[in-house]
Amino acid sequence: MAQATAGKETGANLPFIYREYSPEQLRQALHKMYLIRRFEEGAEDSYTRGLIHGTMHLSIGQEASAMGICMPLTLDDQITSTHRGHGHCIAKGAEVAKMFAEFFGKTTGYCRGRGGSMHIADVTTGNLGANGIVGGGLPIAVGAALTAKRTKSERVVVSFFGDGANNEGAFHEALNMASIWKLPVIFVCENNGYGMSTSTARSTAVANIADRASAYAMPGVIVDGNNLSEVAEASHEAVKRARAGEGPTLIESKTYRHRGHSKSDRNRYRTKEEIEDWMTNRDPIMLYETQLQEFGVIDQAGIEGIREAVRQEIADAIEFAKTSPSPEIANLERYVYTEPL
Amino acid sequence: MAQATAGKETGANLPFIYREYSPEQLRQALHKMYLIRRFEEGAEDSYTRGLIHGTMHLSIGQEASAMGICMPLTLDDQITSTHRGHGHCIAKGAEVAKMFAEFFGKTTGYCRGRGGSMHIADVTTGNLGANGIVGGGLPIAVGAALTAKRTKSERVVVSFFGDGANNEGAFHEALNMASIWKLPVIFVCENNGYGMSTSTARSTAVANIADRASAYAMPGVIVDGNNLSEVAEASHEAVKRARAGEGPTLIESKTYRHRGHSKSDRNRYRTKEEIEDWMTNRDPIMLYETQLQEFGVIDQAGIEGIREAVRQEIADAIEFAKTSPSPEIANLERYVYTEPL
Amino acid sequence: MDQPVRELSYAQAIQEAMAIAMEQDERVFLMGEDIGVYGGAFQVTGDLVERFGADRVIDTPISELGGAGVAVGAAVTGLRPIFEFQFSDFATLAMEQIVNQAAKMRYMLGGAVSVPVVMRFPAGSGTGAAAQHSQSLEAWLGHVPGLKVIQPATPHDAKGMLLAAVADPDPVMIFEHKLLYKMKGPVPEGYYTVPIGKAEIRRQGRDLTIVATSIMVHKALDAAETLEAEGIDVEVVDLRTIRPMDTQTVIDSVKKTSRLLCVYEGVKTLGVGAEVSAAIAESDAFDFLDAPIVRLGGAETPIPYNPELEKATVPQVPDIIKAARDLVSGRR
Amino acid sequence: MDQPVRELSYAQAIQEAMAIAMEQDERVFLMGEDIGVYGGAFQVTGDLVERFGADRVIDTPISELGGAGVAVGAAVTGLRPIFEFQFSDFATLAMEQIVNQAAKMRYMLGGAVSVPVVMRFPAGSGTGAAAQHSQSLEAWLGHVPGLKVIQPATPHDAKGMLLAAVADPDPVMIFEHKLLYKMKGPVPEGYYTVPIGKAEIRRQGRDLTIVATSIMVHKALDAAETLEAEGIDVEVVDLRTIRPMDTQTVIDSVKKTSRLLCVYEGVKTLGVGAEVSAAIAESDAFDFLDAPIVRLGGAETPIPYNPELEKATVPQVPDIIKAARDLVSGRR
Ligand SMILES: Cc1ncc(C[n+]2csc(CCOP(=O)(O)OP(=O)(O)O)c2C)c(N)n1
Ligand SMILES: Cc1ncc(C[n+]2csc(CCOP(=O)(O)OP(=O)(O)O)c2C)c(N)n1
Ligand SMILES: [Mg+2]
Ligand SMILES: [Mg+2]
């Protein structure tokens, strides 16, 4: 998104995004956050009705993180995503219809029904894919950044991962290589407090994931992951640094998932109060909506308009997915190898 | 080794080991350092004459590091070692005769001829083995420390590894687990400046390996690895901490290998001057010898005595190895599984 | 076995085996991701943490390589860890410790140590979890001297073989098909073991030997029922152990039936059935063969997400029936 | 081929192929441990860093998992990395990126990307480097759909197949036996490719087919000379590619000779020869077989350090001669 001055009020005290983006862009961001939320609610609902099988990992509650990080990215920039990747995919520009189609296992899906939720990707908008392997995307992002550097492009690469992933060897090896080679890559740890059932306190020797940045001689930045402007500001800084050839940044975005880890979570490791608190007092969409109104960027009618538009978009997308064709068994072995033209 | 007050001079200004150990123990340490040096020279010589095959990694120049770390260890304590592990093995208490026998591929060798230099081990003195996999020993050491803790023993475990190993994922995962579980393990990075041909500056994002300790919330200590007393003091501290249940320590021992990486090194990545400087001005045995004389713990005749004793020990050991029997081909598949009694 | 027998699910049988092992022997403990309060991704450890405490049912960070290495280090120094991979696919991160360390340490050290570690691998497709959560990688580990590799197919064997694995002085790798976890079957109470390295004839027959592994044993038995109605009398051998493989039982069966069909879920090429076939083709059973040795294995593709495609990647009962019919009738 | 032919070593042939690939295509670059100024552990990259710069001959930290992942990421975004493992044994650290990512990414993304990465694995025993530096793990990767796996046996093929691998849009894994690096043979100058997926008949014969891989091709040819003097006429098939395997060439050969011996260095159980054997035993060549299919593979043990033991772990020329004699004479 292009930079512009925002809103009714101006001045240096405004939160970052109100200085950086136009009101229209700010409203679009809200639109996208709703799109993420409603997409996942729709997926959850379809799952319950048996229209989607397998499992899925919902990022409800983490929308500001995905959105904020992607705001300074262009379509040419790339991301690697995670098992909890629907938000990243939409924030980076994917169409929800093709995402639903993928979840429904259809040929019109982004992965032609071969990948599902855990491998959702839209290479055309720069999403190299969700990943079923915790930490699996980090080295790949470093490789993509190596391409960006070797081809002297302006491109930056963002690698999303969770707090749990920070204890994988892949994290260590990837951050070290990105740093010594000064690659244009941004490591975004979405710290939602738990890797599955294991809290960071029980799994991780340091209090903040960003505390590990010093082990790779890169900046480590902590942001409130439910505050869109804070996330976007950190992303802006890191993108600037990366494009200037100054190397990688580690951003830790503190957030929370409202839902269970996946569809098979008995939720024994978090208290009802904790979940309740994040849902009612720190919902990123609610916070952003309130702020937008406060700064006069949108009014209640505008919000209703967005909600209604999103509702329609989701309904259409599900319809598209439902009516799309399934792959043919005869094509089982297609896409294993690159067919000669 | 038991603690005692040392030498002619006393007082708080004496280097650590002179306060901590008896003159006899200090002379024994010199003896062992010579034993390591001459063992490796003997192995090198035997290799040149075709008596030993394969390859080997000599730690000549690093003797103070192996010796200093092992000084506070008891026979019950354990270590995991590396491809450059002869010094660790001897410092921990192994017999050079059985080591030579192993290098000569004989049944009287520590590994009955199955392991060779890269897998040299003496479990009876607590050496769980050298390792052909860079970083392979770190998680194993953490596991041994878990045993120590679970069985409520006093045992501590030392994991030796090189600067190159610090970029392996295994390093990261091992240090994190050791820290969160507060295990009695000491991570000793013998930083000889290079992982094979690659300098730490080219491979590692931080200036000191110990700078990474903060990422695991453990103390990171840097010592001059060619100064026996400094190494031993750091080891003492770490052992005390580990035995007290306070968890792991990372010690970085800065040292240098005089020889090439292995037997196939064209040595294109280091200057003659650099090697020369370390050999003539910073040889750990020479430094220690001078210091011992300075503090009156030994005189020239005493040194000659040690040298001669070691010469004889090595000669006898090589003879033992030479005249030992080779394994029989019929026993090829022995030791793959544990035979029922 | 004299103990009373109940119906338990495969997952319950494993859980019971682990509980018995921990009760009997202080040295036994469990490690893995989310095996504590979460109960394990497939609820195999369930509530064991409440019974044995977080000290003996240890949640690891998400660090498969390190975690496996910790288990190896604990085993070599006297404990008896049972390490759970959350999905067998994540063994790809730990092959170093499994293959270079656990499998070889005893040999490299000339017999100075043993490595009594047990590792559990929830494996296989059929859950809609796509390519990185559905693999069958037992053939890899079956290729590695120093390891023992088993694939129990029933709740009874799951318990008995796990107890045998814990008692074994060497590293034992257990591949558990995820779709079996909820399958019920008779399981004796108390302690018993089922030997590692012995195949089991699940059904006697004269016309054709089907060697199957894990979940395919049940599909083969289903197929055998249908085939029986057609007059084709199938012998079903449950291989149970991949390494060391009990080829003698297969040889004896083939000498009787003269025909061999291998059914396994892993990718066909270089999968377990390749070894079964090759072992028979070089044995004295060769002279008894009346027909080519046929393999039904997984398709040469990653496991797809779409459920119909997913089903088509691995042998199903009708595939087995058809292959058996063709084999017996001489159709190719 | 019209280009002039010189004698080059296997290592030189690979180096030349990499140089040609880098000259032809800016996207090609090399990654690995100590491949720059050190020239690679086996001097395969040699002085390439001087010609192409440290930017295109990149020394990585000792980070096999991460390094392989970087190569995958670079490949999927448009570059053509050639990644060197210092020893194939260290692939155990990178199986995740090789198997879950490189092999499956195209499939999981429904064809939206290709992953044109080449990985090189110095493999095999015979150097006295013991159990963790001597393995032959090609069977593992041969089991993985999405990968192509090759084992060139001659300098000519090493160059031509590497150039084919670089041109290939999919991940290609090259297993290079360390003892071959110094072996010399005729190599044409300039660019040429040798197709992936085609076996080569190295010697025509009537009495027995020996299918061999990598260094075993040369041992089989040596054995064939001796056997010829005894009146046994051996056909030697160099398999060259493990995946996709050219079973048709083997089938055709077996139909001619009626006898099959598979010779490979990897551990016998579940090694490459298991697949060769099984593929023949289920093909129409089965009816032509006059004798069991015999395999000579590596012993069921880690590679020992002692040189005599080490030699005894893998098939040697006399072993091949004996197996061939027994097979032809009907001795078991
Ligand atoms: C290598 C690997 N280990 C384990 C898993 C199983 N698993 C999937 S998600 C997850 C938790 C990941 O935690 P985190 O990185 O914090 O991401 P979050 O789920 O909280 O978004 C686990 C253990 C996996 N997919 N990959
Ligand atoms: C996993 C793995 N990668 C690579 C190697 C090859 N290798 C053996 S030693 C070595 C360098 C190790 O450097 P460092 O850890 O600093 O130890 P040093 O040799 O300097 O003592 C390398 C790359 C190996 N043995 N294992
Ligand atoms: Mg998390
Ligand atoms: Mg070093």
Which subunits have 3 or more CB–CB pairs within 8 Å of chain B?
A, C, D
pLDDT score of B1: 35
Neighbours of A149 (CB within 10 A): 19
What sign results for the dihedral spanned by CA atoms C306, C312, C314, C316?
A: positive
The strand pair at A78-80 and C172-177 is best described as unpaired
The strand pair at C118-123 and C80-84 is best described as parallel
C-beta D135 within 6 A of ligand 2? no
Q: Which residues pair with D236 in a beta bridge?
A: D203, D210
- pLDDT bucket at D3, cuts 50 / 70 / 90: confident
Residue A1 has pLDDT above 50, yes or no: no
* Side chain identity, residue D4: P
Which residues of C fall within a CB distance of 8 Å from B115?
108-110
C-beta A164 within 6 A of ligand 1? yes
Q: Which residues contact D26 (CB under 8 A, 6 or more apart)?
A: none
pLDDT score of A341: 52
* Side chain identity, residue A213: A
Neighbours of A12 (CB within 10 A): 5
Closest by CA to A285, choosing from A225, A233, A235, is A225
Alpha-carbon distance of A224 to A194, in angstroms, equals 16
Q: For residue A133, give the ligand 1 atom closest to its CA.
A: 26
Q: What is the pLDDT of residues D126-164, one digit of tens each?
A: 999 999 999 999 999 999 999 999 999 999 999 999 999
Distance from CA of A274 to the nearest CA of B (A): 24
Q: Does C108 touch chain D (CB under 8 A)?
A: yes
Fold match flag (D5-188 vs D200-329) = yes
C-beta A252 within 6 A of ligand 1? no
pLDDT score of B5: 44
Q: What is the pLDDT of residues A114-147, one digit of tens each?
A: 999 999 999 999 999 999 999 999 999 999 999 9
CATH of C5-188, one of 3.40.50.970, 3.30.300.30, 3.40.50.2300, 3.90.1720.10: 3.40.50.970
Tokens of A18: 């109100």
Alpha-carbon distance of A151 to A155, in angstroms, equals 10
Which range (B98-102, B263-267, C26-30) has the least confidence? B263-267
* Residue numbers of A between 165 and 224 with CB closer than 8 Å to B: 167-173, 175-176, 179-180, 202-206, 211-212, 214-218
Q: If DSSP codes are grouped into helix, strand and coil, which group holds residue A238? A: helix
Mean pLDDT (whole number) for D268-279: 98
Write out residues in chain C with pLDDT < 50, as ranges. Answer: none
- D145 → closest Cβ in C293, C295, C302: C302
Q: Does D201 touch chain C (CB under 8 A)?
A: no
pLDDT score of D332: 65
With residues binned 3-state (H G I as helix, E B as strand, rest as coil), the percentages for chain B, rounded to 5, are 50, 10, 40
Q: How is residue C273 annotated by DSSP? A: H
Chain A residue nearest residue D144, CA to CA: A336
Alpha-carbon distance of A248 to A332, in angstroms, equals 40
B141/C73 CB distance under 8 A: yes
Burial C218-255 (b: 16+ CB within 10 A, else e): bbbbebbebbeeeebbbbbbbbbbbbbbbbebbbebbb
What sign results for the dihedral spanned by CA atoms D294, C170, C151, C69?
A: negative
Q: Which residues pair with B199 in a beta bridge?
A: B194
Q: Atom 12 (ligand 2): residue with closest C-alpha?
A: B195
The catalytic position among D16, D33, D64, D310 is D64
In chain B, the DSSP E strands lie at 78-80, 157-162, 185-191, 194-195, 198-199, 220-224, 249-254
Chain B residue nearest residue A213, CA to CA: B215
Alpha-carbon distance of D101 to D142, in angstroms, equals 16
Q: What is the pLDDT of residues B107-135, one digit of tens each?
A: 999 999 999 999 999 999 999 999 999 99
Determine contact, residues B142/C71, Cβ cutoff 8 Å: no
Which residues place a Cβ less than 5 A from the ion ligand 4? B 162-164, 192, 195
- A177 → closest Cβ in D66, D113, D148: D66
* Residue numbers of A between 84 and 143 with CB closer than 8 Å to C: 102, 105-106, 111, 113-116, 118-119, 131-136
Q: What is the pLDDT of residues A220-266, one digit of tens each?
A: 999 999 999 999 999 999 999 999 999 999 999 999 999 999 988 88
Q: Is D96 a catalytic residue?
A: no
Determine contact, residues A241/A211, Cβ cutoff 8 Å: no
Cα–Cα distances (Å) from B33 to A327, B37, B193, B276, B320, in that order, read 70, 6, 21, 20, 21
The strand pair at D118-123 and D260-267 is best described as unpaired
Interface of D with A (CB under 8 A): 29, 55, 60-61, 63, 65-79, 81, 96-97, 100-101, 105-114, 145-146, 148, 169-170
C-beta B163 within 6 A of ligand 2? yes
Tokens of C102: 């656990």
Number of H helices, E strands in chain C: 12, 14
Residue B4 has pLDDT above 80, yes or no: no
Number of H helices, E strands in chain B: 12, 7
Q: What is the pLDDT of residues A194-224, one digit of tens each?
A: 999 999 999 999 999 999 999 999 999 999 9
Determine contact, residues D40/D46, Cβ cutoff 8 Å: yes
Q: Which residues pair with D122 in a beta bridge?
A: D176
Determine contact, residues C49/C36, Cβ cutoff 8 Å: yes
pTM above 0.95, yes or no: yes
C309/A336 CB distance under 8 A: no
C61/A165 CB distance under 8 A: no
The strand pair at C234-238 and C184-188 is best described as unpaired
- pLDDT bucket at B341, cuts 50 / 70 / 90: low
- Ligand 1 centroid, distance to C236 Cα (angstroms): 39
Q: For residue B84, give the ligand 2 atom closest to its CA.
A: 21
Length of chain B: 341
C-beta A134 within 6 A of ligand 1? yes
Burial B210-229 (b: 16+ CB within 10 A, else e): bbbbbbbbbbbbbbbbbbbb
Name all domains of chain B by residue range, CATH numbers in brackets. 18-324 (3.40.50.970)
Alpha-carbon distance of A129 to C9, in angstroms, equals 37
Looking at domain C200-329, its CATH class is: alpha beta
Ligand in closest contact with the CA of B82 = 2
Residue A11 has pLDDT above 80, yes or no: no
Residue A4 has pLDDT above 70, yes or no: no
pLDDT score of B11: 65
Distance from CA of C191 to the nearest CA of D (A): 32
Closest by CA to C75, choosing from C112, C28, C116, C30, is C116
- Ligand 1 centroid, distance to A172 Cα (angstroms): 16
Residue B6 has pLDDT above 60, yes or no: no
Closest by CA to B134, choosing from B167, B111, B110, is B167
C75/B132 CB distance under 8 A: no
- pLDDT bucket at A5, cuts 50 / 70 / 90: very low
Question: If residue C296 lies in a helix (H) or strand (E), which one and from where to where?
Answer: strand C294-298
What backbone torsions phi and psi does residue B326 show, to the nearest 5 degrees? -85, 155
Alpha-carbon distance of B119 to B110, in angstroms, equals 9
Q: What is the pLDDT of residues C160-208, one digit of tens each?
A: 999 999 999 999 999 999 999 999 999 999 999 999 999 999 999 999 9
Q: Is D16 a catalytic residue?
A: no
Chain D residue nearest residue B111, CA to CA: D305
What integer best gives the mean pLDDT of chain C? 98
Ligand in closest contact with the CA of A84 = 1
Cα–Cα distances (Å) from A91 to A71, A75, A191, B298, in that order, read 8, 11, 18, 73
* Unique residue bearing structure tokens 């040469």: C300
Alpha-carbon distance of C306 to A105, in angstroms, equals 5
Q: What is the pLDDT of residues B50-77, one digit of tens each?
A: 999 999 999 999 999 999 999 999 999 9
What integer best gives the mean pLDDT of chain D? 98
B169/A168 CB distance under 8 A: yes
Neighbours of A114 (CB within 10 A): 34
Q: What is the pLDDT of residues A55-98, one digit of tens each?
A: 999 999 999 999 999 999 999 999 999 999 999 999 999 999 99
The catalytic position among C16, C133, C138, C265 is C133
pLDDT score of A3: 39
Determine contact, residues D81/D75, Cβ cutoff 8 Å: yes
Which residues of B fall within a CB distance of 8 Å from C70?
139-140, 142-143, 146, 174, 177
C-beta A89 within 6 A of ligand 1? no
Where are chain D's structural domains? 5-188, 200-329
> SS in 3 state form for chain C?
CCCCEEEEEHHHHHHHHHHHHHHHCCCEEEEECCCCCCCCCCCCCCCHHHHHCCCCEEECCCCHHHHHHHHHHHHHCCCEEEEECCCHHHHHHCHHHHHHHHCCHHHHCCCCCCCCCEEEEEECCCCCCCCCCCCCCHHHHHCCCCCEEECCCCHHHHHHHHHHHHHCCCCEEEEEEHHHCCCEEEEECCCCCCCCCCCEEEECCCCEEEEECCHHHHHHHHHHHHHHHCCCCEEEEECCEEECCCHHHHHHHHHHHCCEEEEEEEECCCCHHHHHHHHHHCCHHHHHCCCCCEEEEECCCCCCCCHHHHHHHCCCHHHHHHHHHHHHHCCC
pLDDT score of A8: 47
C-beta A84 within 6 A of ligand 1? yes
Residue A339 has pLDDT above 90, yes or no: no
- Ligand 1 centroid, distance to A328 Cα (angstroms): 32
Ligand in closest contact with the CA of A197 = 1
Q: What is the pLDDT of residues B149-168, one digit of tens each?
A: 999 999 999 999 999 999 99
- pLDDT bucket at B263, cuts 50 / 70 / 90: confident
- Ligand 4 centroid, distance to B285 Cα (angstroms): 20
